[in-house]
């Protein structure tokens, strides 16, 4: 796992450098907006989506430089969704990544605008990325937009999640909500890396399948951590999704069966990689990394 730790450190450094380059400084007017954006982006996120962009891209032969802007763009879209999710009218959470949520620190108006702008900056970054051909930029914009919008993307999943609150959703509904709310962006991150590397359609399909399972595994482990960990450890309010009767796995299957489900899904992710005639160690290691959060 030493190689994986080095990879994760490299991902963080490359992604943060790209984010710092792509986002106006805190001293740029309007300073409140840029401070709010930077507060949220540099709050110590795991850079999990960038890691998938890089891991997928490197697996198919892309180089780090070609992947950095796309990786940062996925992180910007993810961060915008967190900033808006934490708003009082949404999940109403004061704590994010161990710090005050954006709207607590900068007020609701600036938080709404910071989220709006982070989304814009993501698409601007990709469309202006001189490392990529116009064809590739266009494809990445399409992939990112479809995964973060509606009817099959992240925001649709967030609305379905809100709609499911207070009633007991079926396991099928839970999986569908997760697949859109978090899975779509994770799958798109894997696809984006592969597209930048010029991967063939069959390889693209296999890495998408892998990432769907990885995203599901990520969500299941998140749900388990929400129940088993403390707020201090998580850096966000613990037990909250469960208490709100939101669509969670432990709420439906119980904790033990959820753990078993995590193991099965991890195996499915590994199986999807067997279709690739590539060195898939990096992608396999990511499965292990997520599994290690709950074991």
List 96's β-bridge partners, or say none: 99
Nearer to a second copy, 167 or 277 (CB): 167
Report the residue from 66, 100, 104, 155 that binds a second copy according to the rule CB under 8 A: 155
- In the list 15, 40, 79, 148, the residue contacting a second copy (rule: CB under 8 A) is 148
Closer Cβ to a second copy, 85 or 268, answer by number: 85
Residue 208 interacting with a second copy (CB under 8 A) = no
C-alpha 153/C-alpha 229 separation (Å) is: 29
Task: Pick the closer one to a second copy by CB: 128 or 231.
Answer: 128
Does residue 2 bind a second copy (CB under 8 A)? no
* 170 binds a second copy, rule: CB under 8 A: no
| Binding of residue 153 to a second copy (CB under 8 A) | yes
Q: Is 258 in contact with 220 (CB distance < 8 Å)?
A: yes
What span, in angstroms and rounded, lies between the C-alpha atoms of 138 and 85?
28
Q: Pseudo-torsion of CA 111, 72, 35, 101, nearest 10°?
A: 40
Residues from 53 through 92 that contact a second copy (CB under 8 A): 80, 84, 87, 89-90
- Binding flag, residue 130, a second copy (CB under 8 A): no
By CB under 8 A, tell whether 246 contacts a second copy. no
Q: Count of residues binding a second copy (CB under 8 A)?
A: 52
Nearer to a second copy, 29 or 277 (CB): 29
Q: How far is Cα 115 from Cα 117, in angstroms, rounded to an integer?
A: 5
Q: Which is nearer to a second copy, 34 or 213 (CB)?
A: 34
Q: Does 145 bind a second copy (CB under 8 A)?
A: yes
Among 93, 94, 124, 268, binds a second copy (CB under 8 A): 124
Residue number with CB closer to a second copy (120 or 231): 120
Kindly state whether residue 104 participates in binding a second copy, applying the rule CB under 8 A. Answer: no
Q: Which residues bind a second copy (CB under 8 A)?
A: 24, 28-30, 32-34, 37, 80, 84, 87, 89-90, 107-110, 112-113, 115-117, 119-121, 123-124, 126-128, 133-135, 137-139, 141-142, 145-146, 148-151, 153, 155-156, 158-160, 162-163
């Amino acid at each position: 796992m030493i190689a994986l730790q080095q990879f994760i450190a490299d991902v963080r450094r490359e992604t943060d450098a790209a984010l710092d380059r792509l986002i106006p400084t805190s001293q740029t007017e309007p300073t409140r907006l840029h401070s709010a954006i930077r507060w949220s982006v540099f709050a110590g996120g795991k850079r999990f989506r960038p890691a998938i962009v890089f891991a997928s891209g490197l697996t198919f032969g892309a180089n780090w430089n070609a992947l950095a802007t796309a990786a940062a763009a996925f992180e910007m879209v993810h961060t915008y969704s967190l900033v808006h999710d934490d708003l009082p009218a949404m999940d109403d959470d004061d704590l994010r990544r161990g710090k005050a949520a954006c709207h607590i620190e900068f007020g609701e108006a600036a938080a709404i605008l910071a989220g709006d702008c982070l989304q814009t900056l993501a698409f601007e970054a990709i469309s202006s990325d001189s490392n990529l051909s116009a064809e590739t930029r266009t494809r990445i914009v399409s992939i990112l937009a479809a995964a973060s919008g509606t009817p099959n993307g992240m925001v649709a999943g967030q609305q379905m999640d809100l709609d499911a609150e207070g009633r007991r959703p079926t396991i099928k509904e839970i999986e569908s909500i997760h697949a859109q709310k978090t899975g779509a962006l994770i799958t798109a991150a894997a696809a984006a890396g592969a597209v930048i590397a010029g991967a063939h359609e069959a390889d693209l399909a296999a890495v998408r399948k892998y990432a769907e399972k990885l995203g599901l595994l990520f969500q299941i482990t998140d749900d388990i951590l929400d129940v088993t960990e403390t707020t201090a450890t998580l850096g966000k309010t613990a037990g909250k999704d469960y208490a709100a009767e939101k669509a969670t796995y432990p709420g439906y299957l119980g904790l033990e069966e959820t753990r078993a489900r995590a193991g099965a899904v991890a195996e499915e992710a590994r199986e999807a990689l067997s279709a690739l005639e590539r060195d898939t160690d990096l992608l396999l290691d990511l499965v292990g990394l997520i599994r290690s959060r709950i074991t």
